[in-house]
Structure 1
């Protein structure tokens, strides 16, 4: 059996943990401690994150998409396949090394998608982008942790709080979509999405086609905002 080879390491944004990029033949893995965050053989649910989101905004001219987390590019490639030539995709990646890996040892996995003129990569906290750009996005896709909790970066917890979800809703255009990938179910998160004013679908998808673990994708749709009454959401 071909052994794993560690290619590089990078500190998480808080400086307390270490990401490790490993390779075995043509297979790549990004690890955080003993947790495998992503593997190049398992792309089904990441692709579904993009496909399910883009289906719900189909036909919109010049659609603008924000993807939180570059990962191995599976969500980005799937979104590019779904969207038209006039779409724009911003990918927010907080760890510069992940961007460097995409251009370097994992370039074959990315298949040139970072060179697509529709794509802009920002080495920035996706939460900062969400909070700073109101009514800007047709869809926001979040795959920055193993679910709605800040494993890689504790500050990501703020994305999944009531306040963070209200900010995400404010950053969406009318009938925009917030889609969140998770390794497993979380009833508390689904409840917070509804409390923030979203209509919520919870979709279970396989990690790899018809096989592999079942992952969860929340598709939260931003409905019409209520008229201003002085009340808060």
Structure 2
């Protein structure tokens, strides 16, 4: 028999720049929904944490590497990066004001409150695709998780991040030997080839087993020195 425990409860609903975003609680889980499409929840987080670790492992031993995390989401990647003293500056680019608010003053602060007070952390309210095309800042690692993968974007405009021009901009933002890590719900051979075509080396795809369903993956490439 269904109980009220099984029914998602909407905690906040906003009209954002790209449509409706909703934060809801389903049992013990917090969930983010965009335009009716489930994006993520707080059920696991191992692949989001692995996204950060894989990037760090692929770097050389440079001191205090700077990381750009694309997409705040429920905060797994940010919290994990901030828990590692090896990272230097930790910059998060998030385009939805509501998501940022939910972390600063809402229920998601339970996950990221400590990370947000870390002096290394900065949150930028910006569209990631525009940011990598326009910024003059450089980073040692880009950890990108704004879609369900290169072949399954949340909005059509996000597709520009994964084509030749978008990946060339990612390479421009990276320091020599810097690492691009991209989260995806499924592998993409086409995306791997595009990474190589842009000039990334050591391109590989790592599978991360999850609690339910098929493994998530992280696509990894290193900018030539």
TM-score in terms of structure 1 length = 0.86
Residues 1:201 and 1:214: Cα distance change in structure 2 (over 3 Å): same
Instruction: Tell me the distance in 2 between the aligned counterparts of 1:45 and 1:190.
Output: 19
Map 1:111-122 onto structure 2 (within 5 A): 111-122=113-124
Structure 1 outlier segments of 4+, above 4 Å: none
Secondary structure of 2:83's counterpart equals helix
Partner deviation per Cα, 1:172-205 (whole Å, 9 max, x = no partner): 1011001100011112111111111112110010
Question: Is 1:221 matched with 2:222?
Answer: yes
- How many Å apart are 1:63 and its aligned residue? 1.4
Partner deviation per Cα, 1:119-178 (whole Å, 9 max, x = no partner): 000001122332234571100111001111463332211110111101111111011001
- Indicate the residue corresponding to 1:90 in structure 2: 91
More displaced stretch, 32-41 vs 73-82: 32-41
- How many Å apart are 1:34 and its aligned residue? 5.0
- Indicate the residue corresponding to 1:201 in structure 2: 204
Map 1:1-233 onto structure 2 (within 5 A): 1=3, 2=5, 3-15=7-19, 18-33=20-35, 35-57=37-59, 59-84=61-86, 87-103=88-104, 104-133=106-135, 136-149=138-151, 151-199=153-201, 200-208=203-211, 212-224=213-225
**Paired residues, number:** 219
The CA RMSD measured in Å over matched residues stands at 1.9
- How many Å apart are 1:42 and its aligned residue? 1.9
Instruction: Tell me the distance in 2 between the aligned counterparts of 1:51 and 1:150.
Output: 23
Secondary structure of 2:51's counterpart equals helix
- Indicate the residue corresponding to 1:229 in structure 2: none
Gaps spanning 5+ residues in structure 2: where? none
Residues 1:22 and 1:135: Cα distance change in structure 2 (over 3 Å): closer
- How many Å apart are 1:50 and its aligned residue? 0.5
Gaps spanning 5+ residues in structure 1: where? 225-233
TM-score in terms of structure 2 length = 0.89
